[in-house]
Amino acid sequence: MALVDGSNVTISHLGLVAGVYDSLGIGDLIDELIPKKRHHIVSHGTAVKALLLNSLGFVERRLYIMPDYFDDIATERLLGQGIHPEHLNESLFGETLDAIARFNPTKLFTAISLTMMKKLASEPPVKPQESPRLHHDTSSFKVTGEYDSDFGTRLIQIVRGHSKDHRNDLNQFAMTLVTNQHGIPVFMEPLSGNASDKKSLLRSIQAVRNNLVTDQRIYHIADSAFYTKLNLQTLGTQCYWISHVPNTIKEAKTLIHQEGITWQPCTDERYHSYELTSEYAGIPQKWVLYHSRDQQTRSEKKFTSRIEKQRKNDETALKKIFAHEYACETDARAELERWFGKHHRYLPFNIQITSKNHRANGKKGRPKNGEELKEVFLISCKLMFNDEEVRREKERLGRFILATNDCEIDPDTLLDWYKEQGAVERGFRFLKDNSFHISEIFLKNPNRIAAVSMLMVLSLMVYTVTQWQIREILREQKTTVRDVKKQTAKPTTKRIYHLFRRVRQIEEVTDTGFKCRILNYTDELQDITRLFGSGVEKYYA
């Protein structure tokens, strides 16, 4: 049978992406909220779907060559009958980005998120059982190229600010991201490049509380940037929160340095804990001081080199004391004692006091016979480390404080839930992946950048929902899928995508017309799509 020219195209894992996108109702909701009024072939919802197929394709592509990218993709199968690569061009995607910007990216994502949560809670294959823990964080994204900084009403400002990627030479925008404990994003907000973390985290908690109405007890978890008097007083007892207490707070510094603590072992043997209550910012709360053996070990490697470097700096500072002339030996010793009283890490040894005479009138040169002379004293010493103080400093390296206004929570649970903060941090690593290199033509104004940032988080939503769903199904069915070297019940989405990499579609000429065939769709892959249900299976049928 002859092959229809140009019909050998890829489906790969994009059927999974399309199926999950559909199952969450994303495209339908976008078309409902920002419909196209005039005649069109590709709706905004379908255009967003195409953008997600591109961003989750894990190939080095830029959006301005979108039609070229889709030349090798089964567009009609994945996007709809009659949709061809030539329809997926920069004009289409630019129009969609502008429509998202006009509607407001955060408002659109929030609507999608609420729909997503309802569907996951009410539809098969699985239902989430846990009370949500919501993890809040912010990060910055660098922007290169030219853009129109005077464009209309700007959603965000692209400016230079403190870069978490250590690229203060580049313009940037920022983003607040909120995920649940599984890493699934539930809220996002693009921010100006110089936005304050402290204010942004508070605003994200308030926004989520206003939009997410539930009978479940929700915990809002954020890093130390959230923990300020103003933020705690603003929230009061309106919601439950967990945070890392910054060591810059006086009470925290005192606790970190406290001696003679009666430690209690945690379930995780690497940690010990010490509980107490606090009224910081006038809010009743529980503080738990933890000691992490692993954290101490990791920090000690840098600590040794750091204190050696600091000793050299302190020896230089001491030279000012050594160069000063004192009226008496007592004054010299007192000044040296004052210095060591502020620098407990050291002990003095080989203290030497010398004296010399000066002309009382302050003039230079040889004194005259019988001229009154003034005796002055100089002091010097060597530095040695105070071993006991260094030991205490090393022990403090493994200490940190977590706080919560749920005074009933136990230290093990508090620690486990805060460690889930890694979920939102992994989300930001995903968003900063090279898959999101966007052509400058789509970033000619800050509003489009804000719209693109929403699409980036939407990609993260589809990716993380896929991973969570398949792991839950495998857990319930007590089965596994193939990993690199062994079977696993906890595959990553990237691994699942990789298994589908060779799936292609061809169209052949037959005696009765044309016949479409799917290649390399093995029994193993059929079993995987069956786990997701008909919404995914149809893209490989």
SS3 per-residue string spanning 417-449: HHHCCHHHHHHHHHHCCHHHCCCHHHHCCHHHH
Least confident of 163-172, 220-229, 265-274, 373-382: 163-172
The two tokens of residue 25 are 């109702």
Residue ranges of the alpha helices (H) in 220-342?
229-235, 250-256, 293-323, 329-342
Most confident region among 119-123, 285-289, 475-479 by mean pLDDT:
285-289
User: What's the pLDDT band for 191 if we cut at 50, 70, 90?
Assistant: confident
Q: What angle do CA 303, 306, 308 make, to 5 degrees?
A: 110
pLDDT value of position 151: 43
Q: Are strands 219-222 and 133-143 parallel, antiparallel or unpaired?
A: parallel
With 0-12 / 13-18 / 19 or more C-beta atoms within 10 angstroms meaning exposed / middle / buried, residue 51 is buried
State residue 25's pLDDT score: 96
* Predicted local confidence at residue 306, as pLDDT: 93
Q: How far apart are CA 341 and CA 320, in angstroms?
A: 17
Q: Is pLDDT of 69 > 90?
A: no
Task: State yes or no: pLDDT of 259 exceeds 50.
Answer: yes
**Do the Cβ atoms of 190 and 366 come closer than 8 Å?**
no
Q: Read off the pLDDT of residues 353-401 as tens digits, 9 standing for 90 and up.
A: 999 987 776 677 776 776 778 899 999 999 999 999 999 899 899 999 9
The pLDDT tens digits of the residues spanning 146-163 come to 555 444 455 666 666 555
Q: Are 108 and 45 in contact (CB under 8 A)?
A: no
What is the H or E stretch that residue 199 is in?
A: helix 197-211
- Is 518 a residue whose pLDDT tops 70? yes
pLDDT at position 162: 58
58: confidence class by pLDDT, cuts 50, 70, 90: low
What is the 3 state secondary structure string of 387-425? HHHHHHHHHHCCEEEEEECCCCCCHHHHHHHHHCCHHHH
- Confidence tier at 6 by pLDDT (50, 70, 90): low
Q: Lowest mean pLDDT: which of 57-61, 257-261, 265-269, 431-435?
A: 57-61
Q: Name the CA dihedral angle for 484, 120, 200, 197, rounded to a multiple of 10 degrees.
A: -20
Asked if pLDDT for residue 1 goes beyond 80, the answer is no
Place of tokens 């989405």: 493
> How far is the C-alpha of 344 from the C-alpha of 362, rounded, in Å?
37
Beta pairing partners, 352: 380
Predicted local distance difference test score (pLDDT) of residue 160 = 61
The pLDDT of residue 81 is 94
Q: What is the pTM of this model?
A: 0.84
The C-alpha angle with vertex 503 and arms to 497 and 508, in degrees rounded to 5, equals 160
What percentage of the chain has pLDDT greater than the value 70? 86
pLDDT reading at 432 higher than 90 = no
Confidence of residue 441 (pLDDT cuts 50, 70, 90): very low
Both structure tokens of 91: 């004009």
Q: Which conformational region is residue 347 in: left (phi greater than 0), alpha (psi within -120 to 50 degrees), or beta?
A: beta
The two structure tokens encoding residue 9: 């195209």
Is 244 in contact with 400 (CB distance < 8 Å)?
Answer: yes
Which residues neighbour 71 within 8 Å (Cβ) at sequence distance 6 or greater? Answer: 85
State the pLDDT confidence band at 38, using cuts at 50, 70 and 90: confident
Instruction: Supply the pLDDT for residue 150.
Output: 47
Q: Is residue 528 predicted with pLDDT exceeding 60? A: yes
pLDDT at 434: 64
